[in-house]
Amino acid sequence: MLVVMNPGVTDNEINEVEKQLKGFGFSVHGPKGNNRRIFRISGESDVDTTIIEKTIPYVEKIVFPHYPFELASRDYQEEKTVFKVGDVEIGAQKTIIMAGPCAVEGRESYLRTAKAVKEAGAHILRGGAYKPRSSPYAFQGLEEEGLKIMAEAREMTGLPIITEVLDQYSVEIVAEYADILQVGTRNMQNFRLLKELGQLRKPVLLKRGMSATIEEWLMAAEYLLSEGNNKVILCERGIRTFETYTRNTLDISAVPVAKELSHLPVFVDPSHGTGLWRCVPPMSMAAIAAGADGLLIEVHPSPKEALCDGPQSLMPDKFAQLVNSLKKVAETVGRTL
């Protein structure tokens, strides 16, 4: 149960509300986060909740979410979450394209790709500096060197950068460079990492776990929100099924479902979602047509030589064509790009 206080409530007022709620016998959690307006209360108190609204000052409303993800739910916040990363507005009317290679492999090639994707119309640069690899013997990323190259690309292009944070050790260093921190599919239920990123207050893109239900995904977002970070982007990236032709099965229906259940912006990663570059354009079109707020697309200048995930990367010219097509689809669903 959530107790939402009036906008602009002061610290003293918050303390007073907390005291009264405890007086009624509730366990009280919060308020946390940027806006510091919500207490989550629980417990055996038999106080009628309408009493709370009537007798405790500074309380705007009591919310009973239908779902275990409370702060992430539309019950808690009807209007969509919108926030800015640099000049780029996430979750608003404009659909957003994040693009770049799977891994940062070298300075020159990354800067070249960054320039190309910017010219093609991308709004945010992606790139991996710390890579989760199923083999300990595979290329594991350039680490801080990669982050520095990305920062240089940001300076050159003016675009914000997104990169994956793999574990607690690298939270600080990644947060120093990145504008958005990406939580990968294998870390969706790395709860300690989520808590830290929740306290950090930098925007987080939370990929759906490859075998996570939509509810579990929203519960993972709740970990971020309950620590006070509400700059959260959900990203569908394909789930694991019996089908082997595609690398994963991109669950486009997760877009309308997540948007109905939650106020958070929902992105789609068609590159990991299919594992096949030829499927990236049609699935990007599908995602925008289904209402996605943005895309995460792998672009590589020479996919055959990529150290990671070449088969699913688009060449820059194909990407530029795709952006043009996406503009038209965005318009048919009442948005821009």
Cβ distance to a second copy smaller for residue 16 or 144? 144
- Residue 147 to residue 182: CA distance in whole angstroms: 13
Is residue 245 near a second copy by the rule CB under 8 A? yes
CA within 13 Å, CB half, 70: 17
Output the CA–CA distances (angstroms, integers) from residue 103 to 98, 177, 309, in the order listed: 14, 16, 9
Is residue 116 near a second copy by the rule CB under 8 A? no
Among 129, 288, 297, 337, binds a second copy (CB under 8 A): 288
Among 55, 93, 211, 336, binds a second copy (CB under 8 A): 211
**Residues of this chain, 12-71, that bind a second copy according to CB under 8 A:** 29, 40, 42, 68, 70
- Residue 337 to residue 121: CA distance in whole angstroms: 9
Cβ distance to a second copy smaller for residue 46 or 245? 245
Helix, strand, coil share (%) of the chain residues, nearest 5: 40, 20, 40
- DSSP conformation class of 290: T
Strands 180-183 and 204-207: parallel
**Residues of this chain, 74-113, that bind a second copy according to CB under 8 A:** none
- ω into 316 cis (within 30 of 0): no
Considering only 45-53, 99-107, 152-160, 248-256, which stretch makes contact with a second copy by CB under 8 A? 248-256
Among 51, 82, 278, 305, binds a second copy (CB under 8 A): 278
Is residue 328 near a second copy by the rule CB under 8 A? yes
Among 191, 302, 305, 336, binds a second copy (CB under 8 A): 191
Is residue 3 near a second copy by the rule CB under 8 A? no
182 CB neighbour count, 10 Å cutoff: 24
